[in-house]
Amino acid sequence: MSKELPIGFMDSGLGGLSVLREAIRIMPAEDFIYFGDSLHAPYGTKEQSVIRDLTFAVVENLMKQGIKGLAVACNTATSAAVRLLRGMYPDLPIVGIEPAVKPAVVSSHGGRILVMATPMTIAQEKYHLLLEQYRDQADIVSVPCGGLMEFVEQGRFDGEQLDTYFRENLLPYMTDDTETIVLGCTHYPFLRPHLMEFLGDRPIRLIDGSLGTSMELKRRLKVKGLLREENRTGIVTIQNSSGSQAMIDRSYELLAMPF
C-alpha cells in the first residue's frame, strides 16, 4: 500500500467532520477523502443490517478510489460494522469511533455521566459491552437522541427548537450531580457551543472521542510505515451521496468552524 494514498473517512452525513478536523490538525501532511452519506442519513434509527449494508457500500466506494487507511467516523456505523470491515479488509488500518465512556470514567469525581448517542448505538451489543466494563465505577446513563443529528445536517446550530429538544430529551436525565456529558455521536460536537449555553452555569464537562480516534489512526498508520511526516499541506476532498453542492459547501464550513 502506498504512503501517498489518501486516508478515507466516512459518516452517515456531516458529523464525521468533527473527527476529520482533529485528524487534519495532528496529521497535516496527509491527504483525506471524506464521504458523507447524507442521502441515507440518519443511520441511527435504522436496523443493524441496513446500517451494515450502507456502511459497506460507502467503504467499497472509498476503496475503489484508493485509500491507505480508514476512519469510521460514525459511532453508529462503528458499532454495527467495524468488526466485519476488519475481516473484509485485513490489510487496511481501520479505526472506528465509540462513545468516550472510558475517558469520562477515568476523569470522573463520582458524579453522573450521561452518554448522548443515537438510539441504534445505544441498542448495540458493542455499547453494552463497553458499559459493562465501567458499570461498577460510575453512574452512567444513556440518553437516546433520535432526531438530533438532523439539526447539524440542516445547518441549525442554535435556536428555540434546539433548546426545546434539549429540554425534552436531555433535561429529564440530568441530576444535580451530573458532571459529564459524553457526545457519543459525531454530529453532536457541532452543537457544543449551544449546548454549553443551554447548560448555563452548571459545572458539566462535555467530552467526545474525536481526538482519541484520530490519535489511534495516526498510531496505526505509523506502525505500518504509512504516515506522511514531510513538510507539506495535505489536500482534503469532500464527497456526499446527496449530490447537493450545498451539502459540500456546508461540509467545508463545518471543517473550518472553530473548536
Residue nearest to ligand DGL (CB): 44
CB of 134 to ligand DGL, least distance (A): 20
Q: Of the two residues 21 and 187, which places its CB atom closer to ligand DGL in the complex? A: 187
Strand partners, 141: 114
CB of 118 to ligand DGL, least distance (A): 4
Query: Can you say whether the dihedral through the CA atoms of 26, 251, 184, 208 is positive or negative?
Result: positive
CB of 40 to ligand DGL, least distance (A): 8
CB of 230 to ligand DGL, least distance (A): 32
How distant is the alpha carbon of residue 17 from its chain centre?
8
- C-alpha distances (whole Å) from 253 to each of 124, 198, 201, 243 are 32, 23, 29, 17
For cell 449546548, name the residue. Answer: 195
Q: Give CA torsion, residues 245, 246, 250, 253, to 10 deg.
A: 70
Q: Of the two residues 41 and 95, which places its CB atom closer to ligand DGL in the complex? A: 41
Pick the catalytic residue from 10, 74, 92, 122: 74
Q: Of the two residues 36 and 93, which places its CB atom closer to ligand DGL in the complex? A: 36
DSSP string, 110-152: SSEEEEEE-HHHHHSHHHHHHHHHHTTT--EEEEE-TTSHHHH
Question: Do the Cβ atoms of 21 and 243 come closer than 8 Å?
Answer: no
**Type of residue numbered 170:** L
CB of 236 to ligand DGL, least distance (A): 18
Q: Of the two residues 36 and 69, which places its CB atom closer to ligand DGL in the complex? A: 36
Cell numbers for 150, please give them.
Answer: 438532523
Pick the catalytic residue from 33, 41, 122, 185: 185
Q: Of the two residues 147 and 234, which places its CB atom closer to ligand DGL in the complex? A: 147
**145 belongs to the catalytic site:** no
Cell numbers for 212, please give them.
Answer: 482519541
Residue 42, by phi and psi: left (phi above 0), alpha (psi -120 to 50) or beta? beta
* Phi and psi angles of residue 154, each rounded to the nearest 5 degrees, phi first: -90, 0
Report the interface residues with ligand DGL, using CB under 6 A: 11-13, 15, 41-44, 74-76, 118, 121, 149, 185-187
Residues catalogued as catalytic: 74, 185
